[in-house]
Amino acid sequence: MKKHTYHRPDWKAHRLVPSHFPPIHLFESIYDSEEELKIAYQLEGLTNDRLAQEAGSLCLIRQGDFITGPGATPVMAAFTHIGYPSRFTDGQFGVYYSASDIETAIRETMHHKAMFLSATKEGDTELTMREYVNEIVKPLVDIRGDLALHKPNCYKRSQAFGKNLYDQSEWGVLYNSVRNQGGECAALLRPPANSCCTQGAHYRYVWNGQKQRFQTHFKISAEPEGL
């Protein structure tokens, strides 16, 4: 079996998600144990259906992989909501994707949003995306030299590779951006591979329904100081 090469990137990680996913605060408090978090989730869910829907399913996260505290929710949410296939998962487990810079994050997300909008023949519309910034704190399997796992639109091999790493409890994958030459991306398979997030800027993507492509994108709010 080929041995993996590992590397922990030192860049700040940028992630963009649709802003219609509202921030929730279940994971923002600091709990003494995972059991205490689960109890809090169950108690809140009894009277708050919205919380239960937005927080997702805690049972999807392995014992010992819970993180809490300010900025933990965007990380945890990537692992408590599943069902969407992507480059390194067939949808059976969650992945936290991030990029080495904001332009790479924009190009990656615009590509995938464009595929969805064109598949549904969407008319003129605009999408607002929220940025999260954090750091990668664990070594990742480095596949930047493996071209076979970087195919632009065929994910069969990379999904099998990701499942194998997930089963081995690896922290995640470091790979080259396929949508922005020179950029890098990370696919994190476990929440503790990340630090907690800080919210960054908001961006607007403008979709041209006639041409079935994004016409432009722009920043609509600035990052908080210190990012």
Q: What is the pLDDT of residues 78-130, one digit of tens each?
A: 998 887 899 999 999 999 999 999 999 999 999 999 999 999 999 999 999 99
Confidence category of residue 52, pLDDT binned at 50, 70, 90? low
Residue 51 has pLDDT above 90, yes or no: no
171 lies in some domain = yes
Mean pLDDT (the chain) is: 88
Quickly list DSSP for 78-140.
Answer: HHH-----BTTB-SSS--EEEESSHHHHHHHHHHHHHHHHHHTT--SEEEEEEEEEEEB-S-E
The more confident residue out of 95 and 53 is 95
Domain of residue 38: give its range. Answer: 6-221
Condensed to tens digits (0 to 9), the pLDDT of residues 198-218 reads: 999 999 999 999 999 999 999
Residue 24 lies in a domain: yes
Q: Is residue 226 part of a domain?
A: no
Does a structural domain hold residue 42? yes
The structural domain count of the chain equals 1
126-155 average pLDDT score: 97
Q: How far is the C-alpha of 185 from the C-alpha of 142, rounded, in Å?
A: 11
Mean pLDDT of 118-144: 97
* 217, part of any domain: yes
pLDDT digits (tens, 9 = 90+) for 162-189: 999 999 999 999 999 999 999 999 999 9
Provide the residue type at 182 as one letter: G
> Looking at residue 30, what is its pLDDT?
56
Answer yes or no: is 227 within a domain: no
Q: What is the pLDDT of residue 46?
A: 43
Q: Is residue 44 part of a domain?
A: yes
Domain assignment of residue 19, yes or no: yes
Q: Helical H runs in the chain?
A: 34-47, 49-55, 73-80, 102-119, 156-167
- The per-residue pLDDT for 47 is 47
What pLDDT is attached to residue 73? 86
pLDDT value of position 82: 80
Residue 5 pLDDT exceeds 70: yes
State residue 63's pLDDT score: 87
- At residue 43, does pLDDT exceed 90? no
- The answer, yes or no, to whether residue 20 has pLDDT greater than 70, is yes
Q: What is the pLDDT of residue 107?
A: 98
Residue range 133-139: mean pLDDT, rounded: 98
Q: How far is CA 225 from CA 30, 62, 198, 201, in A?
A: 24, 35, 11, 11
